[in-house]
Amino acid sequence: MAFRAYPADVSSYGLRVLDREECEALLRTQRVGRVGLCTYGPLVLPVVYTMLDNDVVFRTAPGEKLIAAVLNRTVAFEIDEYDVSALTGWSVLVVGAAEEVVAPEDLTRVRALDLEPWAGEFRDRFVRIRADEVSGRRVDPDT
């Protein structure tokens, strides 16, 4: 059975389900997202990211995110944008296996991306989230 992040039709709740193409376009509009993983309990961490093909890629230092990638764990990645005064917004969720980027040709491609770390510590490892499931929804008062 395939995982579905959002119900197929939630328009009756004032939300519009976004197709994969629209979700992928929105993923290219942001620089910061959140990675959700399971450690000793749920853990959600912000990351600076970009896209490689249609997968999410981010830099990291040794820690929980890198452990999840080395173990090829399934993780969630989420971005969103809201206008509280207009009561509008959208969110996109990517679910897939995390993997450390280690192949030389992939490392060359990833290092060529605009992916400078914001945090002061040294982050020299790259994680790719294979976008197995991509879903999104938009809320708009006119929906």
- Catalogue all structural domains in the chain, each as residue range(s) with its CATH number: 12-139 (2.30.110.10)
Cα-flanking dihedrals φ and ψ of residue 91, to 5°?
-145, 150
Residue 5 carries which side chain, given as an amino acid letter?
A: A
72 secondary structure, DSSP code:
T
pTM for the model stands at 0.86
Q: How many CA atoms lie within 13 A of 94 on its CB side?
A: 29
d(CA 118, CA 53): 23
Q: Would you state the pLDDT for residue 2?
A: 47
- Divide the 143 residues of the chain into consecutive groups of 10 and give the mean pLDDT of each group: 49 80 96 92 92 94 88 94 92 96 95 82 87 92 63
Please answer whether residues 60 and 123 qualify as being in contact, where contact means their C-beta atoms are separated by less than 8 angstroms: yes
Q: Would you state the pLDDT for residue 87?
A: 87
